[in-house]
Amino acid sequence: MLIKLLIALFILILFILGTFLLFNREQPFFIYQPHNLKAIQRLMTITACLLIIVGIIGIIILFIGSLELNLITLVAGSLIVGLFAVFIACWG
């Protein structure tokens, strides 16, 4: 039961991060000005959409799937955020 609670917390964090990136893609992001760099703005939009999709899939798996299937949510969410960080670092 504790594992399901922690996975639900991870999914909540995915939704929060996804909506933050989606609604703030016009705002300055760290040292970048997304309104000047359309590639970063596009990267933020794609990352936000992917995080929200993974969150939705994670909720479905959480309620109807087994705990082993939730590994998909954990790995996919971590990979998306990790790749976003790598791409942002490459622009720096």
pLDDT value at position 5? 94
| Model confidence, pTM | 0.87
**pLDDT for the residue 49:** 96
Q: Give CA separation, 52 vs 1, 17, 32, 37, 82, in Å.
A: 24, 9, 23, 23, 15
Q: Please report the pLDDT score of residue 13 as a whole number.
A: 96
Sequence letter at residue 90: C
The alpha carbons of the chain give a radius of gyration, in whole angstroms, of 14
Start-end of H helices in the chain? 2-23, 38-64, 70-91
Per-residue model confidence (pLDDT) at position 29: 65
Please tell me the predicted confidence (pLDDT) of residue 27: 75
Per run of 10 residues, the mean pLDDT along the chain (length 92 residues) is: 92 95 78 70 92 96 89 94 90 64
pLDDT at 40 (0 to 100): 81
